Amino acid sequence: MSQAPSYKRILLKLSGEALMGDDNYGINRSTIEQIVGQIKEVVELGVQVGIVIGGGNIFRGVSSAASGMDRATADYMGMMATVMNALALKDAMGKVGLIARVQSALTMQQIAEPYVRGKAMQYLEEGKVVIFGAGTGNPFFTTDTAAALRGMEMNVDIMLKATKVDGVYTDDPKKNPDAVRYQTLTFDEAIGRNLKVMDATAFALCRDQHLNIKVFSIFKQGALKRVVLGEDEGTLVHC
Ligand code: UDP
């Protein structure tokens, strides 16, 4: 029996590091294929998918050169790195028959469409995956904040933050075997317990606009689909 998804439209936040796999930097082919495979599973359930991708995997390679650089210039480089990841993701999606569009917050018209809210909404309604590149387009921000903003603008039902760990734990599960995963947490509990779900700006935006966040591991096979089907996977941070 096929199950109905719990969400009609999602915003998936992937950090650049998610694409690295076990490599030290860059994009690992089998890792990106694994991630795209999971995205395909939920698109096939009829879920509309927007993605904000980070740039840490690419920018790390130049970060030593960037140290001592003007912060805004380094941040623009970081945003360009996210566009590279967005293009790689789109390419990998095309190979498995998913139709994706890249919209960039910085104008790069030869390689990506500019971000236009109405157009992005239309693509989502058509079942196309929309990958939002270049973060917010502003230095001094992060792609977590971009994910919160785009998620709100796209009226998504939930923000899914993909991490290496399968949720938020009472302690670092790698160091403490007794650490327990929270199934759910309120925004206030996360703040009170000093649990870093995402950066403070992004977190405050989600809390204020009542955009719930699910933290889960993209490296766990089938986890994205289980999240979308409302199964016990990851940690839900809610109002
Ligand atoms: N960045 C920025 N403004 C944004 C989003 C990103 O200036 O709105 C820059 C910033 O330098 C950041 C880099 O792009 O370090 C990559 O983004 P992020 O660190 O969020 O990527 P992730 O760690 O998720 O891979």
CATH code of the domain covering residue 91: 3.40.1160.10
Low-confidence residues of the chain, pLDDT below 50?
Answer: 1
pLDDT at site 61: 52
Tokens representing residue 221 in the block: 């096979």
DSSP classification of residue 5: P
pLDDT at site 13: 98
Residues in CB range of 130: below 8 A, 6 or more apart: 49, 50, 51, 100, 101, 103, 120, 123, 124, 154
Tokens representing residue 66 in the block: 């960037």
Residues with CB under 6 Å of ligand 1 are 15-17, 54-56, 59, 74-75, 78-79, 82, 135-136, 138-139, 141-146
Please tell me whether residue 143 adopts helix, strand or coil conformation: helix
Domain assignment present for residue 1? The answer is: no
Domain assignment present for residue 136? The answer is: yes
pLDDT at site 196: 86
β-pairing, 9-14 vs 213-217, is unpaired
Q: How many domains does the chain have?
A: 1
Which range marks the domain in which residue 116 is found? 9-238
Domain assignment present for residue 102? The answer is: yes
* Cα maximum dimension of the chain: 58
Whether this prediction's pTM lies above 0.85 is answered by: yes
Buried-state track 22-32, b at ≥16 Cβ within 10 A, e below 16: eeebbbbeebb
Domain assignment present for residue 128? The answer is: yes
Domain assignment present for residue 192? The answer is: yes
Domain assignment present for residue 86? The answer is: yes
Token pair 């380094």: residue: 74
pLDDT at site 68: 85
CA atoms within 13 A on the CB side of 182: 21
What is the distance between the alpha carbons of residues 206 and 187, in angstroms, rounded to a whole number?
9
Domain assignment present for residue 3? The answer is: no
Report which protein residue has its CA nearest ligand 1's atom 12: 78
pLDDT at site 64: 59
Residues in CB range of 54: below 8 A, 6 or more apart: 13, 14, 15, 16, 17, 18, 82, 85, 142, 143
CA angle (150, 135, 33) in 5-degree steps: 90
Residues in CB range of 52: below 8 A, 6 or more apart: 11, 12, 13, 14, 131, 132, 135, 143, 146, 147, 150, 151
pLDDT at site 66: 66
For residue 77, report the distance from its CA to the centre of ligand 1, in Å.
9
What is the distance between the alpha carbons of residues 27 and 33, in angstroms, rounded to a whole number?
10
Report which protein residue has its CA nearest ligand 1's atom 22: 54
Domain assignment present for residue 4? The answer is: no
pLDDT at site 174: 87
pLDDT at site 59: 76
| Residue 23 identity (one-letter amino acid) | D
For residue 187, report the distance from its CA to the centre of ligand 1, in Å.
23
> What are the angstrom distances between the C-alpha of 181 and each of 108, 173, 238?
41, 9, 15
Helix count and strand count (H, E) for the chain: 9, 9
